[in-house]
């Protein structure tokens, strides 16, 4: 939800060509060119469950705040 709200803030400010990111523990935005400048490679067998068509979530922790 935070990413969506920050993206909406950029739109309302008429700012385009930016991507909302989490950088050093803080929300920020960066130019799209920074993200697309290099090719990213992932080990599909290690990080992706091809039968379920989903990423592997081995260390996912969910905390509930009520």
Q: pTM of whole model > 0.85?
A: no
pLDDT of residue 60: 53
Q: What is the pLDDT of residues 15-59, one digit of tens each?
A: 999 999 988 889 999 999 998 899 888 888 888 888 888 887 766
Rounded CA separation 15/36 (Å)? 18
Dist CA 10 CA 19 (whole Å): 9
Q: Are 19 and 30 in contact (CB under 8 A)?
A: yes
Q: How far apart are CA 28 and CA 32, in angstroms?
A: 13
């Amino acid at each position: 939800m935070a990413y969506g709200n920050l993206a909406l803030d950029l739109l309302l400010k008429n700012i385009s060509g930016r991507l909302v990111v989490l950088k050093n523990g803080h929300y920020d935005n960066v130019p799209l060119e920074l993200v697309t400048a290099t090719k990213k490679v992932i080990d599909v067998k290690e990080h992706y469950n091809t039968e379920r068509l989903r990423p592997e979530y081995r260390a996912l922790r969910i905390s509930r705040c009520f």
